[in-house]
Structure 1
Amino acid sequence: MAFRIPFLKRKLKTEINTELSLENLPKHVAIIMDGNGRWAKQRGLPRAAGHKEGMTTIKKIVSKAVELNLEALTLYAFSTENWKRPKTEVEYIMKLPSQFLDTYLQELVDNNVQVRTIGDFSKLPEHTQKAVQTSIDRTASNTGLILNFALNYGSRAEMLDALKGIAHDVEAKRIAIDDINEELINQKLYTHFLNDPDLLIRTSGEVRLSNFLLWQVAYSEFYFTDVYWPDFDENEFVKALIVYQSRKRRYGGI
């Protein structure tokens, strides 16, 4: 059955003995979903088991994001560097989008979620491309949460593509050098259809960006947790949002 959005009161009680305000939520949350392999290793399981459990976590976090009426959720699913992993692991990860969407796509449709992707889509296996494109097409008319998967994504590659696009425009005299500004660069990035993330979350205890949204997170709030992604449930997500609400975002001002 599809999850449904419950009636929300002005304050949302959580299990951490505090309250999440519904007045100051981030519009766009980006998450580096890290720790699947270590989660599995702690339990004597193959790494694939961690990736599979991580799909369950995605469903939980998407459900909570829909409930809270967030505008966008960008999930770092597979980086350009992840091709260096063992072939069997990469092949398994590439099957996950179809497994995830086969069981969950109708719920996304029912809950007005729009699926999008960023990254070099062309280098993904055909079956992965097909599954993702089907979900994009099925949810194209939805107007709620944008669920944005970063697949075969690398921020440096993204910025290089943007610079090349701008250089071609200058060469073709479509724009002048003096026309190049931050807004133009934003329009050339893969994320041109999104606002920059207000909050970046990374799980598993690692404290780095790993080539993820380097331009876009210039003024994002960062939240790092030791919790592995498969254990990052709705309550952990709410903790991150509460911490976000405790921050003062000055954007260089006082």
Structure 2
Amino acid sequence: MSESSIPRHIAIIMDGNGRWAKERGLPRREGHRAGAESVRECVEACKELGVQYLTLYAFSSENWNRPIAEVTALMALLERFLEEKAEELMKQNVRLRAIGHLDRLPARTRRKLDKAIDRTAGNTSLTLVLALSYGAREEIVEAARSLAIDAAAGKIDPAKIDIATFASRLYTADIPDPDLLVRTSGELRVSNFLLWQISYSEIVIFKKFWPDFHQADLFEAAQEYSRRHRRFGAL
């Protein structure tokens, strides 16, 4: 692929951990654990391709409604990932970011997340963005509320609010919109993920579950992206 055909930003809906585990007669937590290896492979693949941003839908705002035992296991897995992979992220020059209602995370999880983000803040290769306790509708409502408060206070003229102004109030204000959205498990929905930002993203669906998604699959998605002609509503 030519450099111009490589997506600058890839976003992934990592779906199917639970079903992967169920097919094997394993607890759901084993599916989440297996999925962590797919994260590692995708980070390496993005670095090899020259992708600048990789955003992973790691934990949605709706996921808090799952059984307490599963949520606890997911938080423990996230903590383990942050502890074990921080050094690897440093070696690979990967910067870690997070978006979402981070204040809802358990205190210990949040501390480990903040520590990893601070430690990798100066890295310049790939930016890995974890969407945690994230919901796109909530993000859009918060942006609208922020603008409404400033308008009521006379800090901004409502008539001058445009797309760029609105986007500046989103969690991703300093991150380019995804060029490519990947979803695993064959589901044909975006599940409240980056609804504003994926307005013109190319979408590639894989039927396989997330733990079965490997480097070759990300390369395949990037190849498919390179074959598409992005018109952004024009002819």
TM-score by length of 2: 0.98
Equivalent residue for 1:209? 190
CA displacement at 1:22 relative to structure 2: 4.2
Q: How does 1:149-168 map to 2 (within 5 A)?
A: 149-168=130-149
Equivalent residue for 1:91? 72
1:123 partnered with 2:104:
yes
CA displacement at 1:21 relative to structure 2: 4.3
Equivalent residue for 2:91? 110
Structure 1 gaps of 5+ residues are 1-19
Structure 2 gaps of 5+ residues are none
Question: Cα deviation per residue 1:210-239 (whole Å; 9 max; x = unaligned)?
Answer: 000000000000111101100100001111
Equivalent residue for 2:38? 57
TM-score by length of 1: 0.91
The CA distance in 2 between the partners of 1:178 and 1:144, in whole Å, is: 39
1:74 partnered with 2:86:
no
Equivalent residue for 2:225? 244
1:230 partnered with 2:214:
no
The CA distance in 2 between the partners of 1:169 and 1:111, in whole Å, is: 41
CA displacement at 1:110 relative to structure 2: 1.4
1:39 partnered with 2:20:
yes
1:179 partnered with 2:160:
yes
One-letter amino acid of the counterpart of residue 180, structure 1: I
Task: Tell me the SS of whatever aligns to 1:151.
Answer: strand
Contact 2:20 2:211 in 1 (8 A): yes
The CA distance in 2 between the partners of 1:205 and 1:250, in whole Å, is: 25
CA displacement at 1:251 relative to structure 2: 0.6
The structure with more helix, counted as a fraction of residues:
2
The CA distance in 2 between the partners of 1:232 and 1:22, in whole Å, is: 24
One-letter amino acid of the counterpart of residue 71, structure 2: V
Task: Tell me the SS of whatever aligns to 2:84.
Answer: helix
Q: How does 1:129-140 map to 2 (within 5 A)?
A: 129-140=110-121
What RMSD in Å do the two structures reach over aligned CA positions?
A: 0.9
One-letter amino acid of the counterpart of residue 63, structure 1: E
Contact 1:27 1:197 in 2 (8 A): yes
The CA distance in 2 between the partners of 1:205 and 1:87, in whole Å, is: 27
The CA distance in 2 between the partners of 1:116 and 1:154, in whole Å, is: 16
Contact 2:6 2:50 in 1 (8 A): no
Q: Percent of aligned pairs with the same residue? A: 46
One-letter amino acid of the counterpart of residue 212, structure 1: F
Question: Cα deviation per residue 1:31-78 (whole Å; 9 max; x = unaligned)?
Answer: 000000000111111100000011111011001111222110000000
- Report the count of equivalent residues: 235
